[in-house]
Chain A
Amino acid sequence: MVTHIAETDLALYVSGDLRLLRRAAVGFHAGRCERCRRRMEAYRADRDQTRKLAGEMPEGLDWQRLAAEMSANIHVGLAAGECVARRPERRILRVSWRPAAIAAGMVAVMTFAWWLNMPAGTSGQLGRAMSAIWHGRANFAAVASRDASWDAKRNGPASFASFGPVVVATPLGIELRENDNVIGGSEDSAPVAVSASMQGSASARYVNADTGQMTITSVYVQ
Chain B
Amino acid sequence: MSEAQGSTRYDATPLSSDQQTRFVSENMRRIFLLIYRIVGNVADAQDLTQEAFIKALQRQDQLKDLEKAAHWLSRIASNTAIDFLRRSGRVSFSDIDDMPEPATTSIEHSPEQILLRAERREYLQDGLSVLTERERTALLLRDVEGLPAAEVAARLNCSKATVRSHIANARVKFRRFAARRDA
Contact = CB atoms under 8 A, between A and B. Distances in A.
Interface in A185-221: none
A81 B142 CA distance: 33
Contacts of B172: 7-8, 11
Interface in B135-164: 139-140, 142-144, 149, 164
Contacts of B175: 7, 11, 42-43, 46
Interface in A1-52: 7-9, 11-12, 14-15, 17, 42-43, 46-47, 49-51
Do most interface residues of chain A lie in helix, strand or loop, or is the interface mixed?
helix
B121 A59 contact: yes
A156 interface: no
Interface in B95-142: 96, 119-125, 127, 139-140, 142
B115 to A, nearest CB: 17
Give the interface residue-count category, chain A. 35 or more
A46 B171 contact: yes
Q: How large is the interface on B (under 10, 10 to 19, 20 to 34, 35 or more residues)?
A: 35 or more
Contacts, number: 105
Contacts of A17: 142, 149, 164, 167-168
Interface of B: 20-21, 24-25, 28-29, 32-33, 36-37, 42, 46, 49-50, 53-54, 57-58, 96, 119-125, 127, 139-140, 142-144, 149, 164-165, 167-169, 171-172, 174-175, 178
Interface of A: 7-9, 11-12, 14-15, 17, 42-43, 46-47, 49-51, 53-59, 61, 63, 66-67, 69-71, 73-75, 77-78, 81
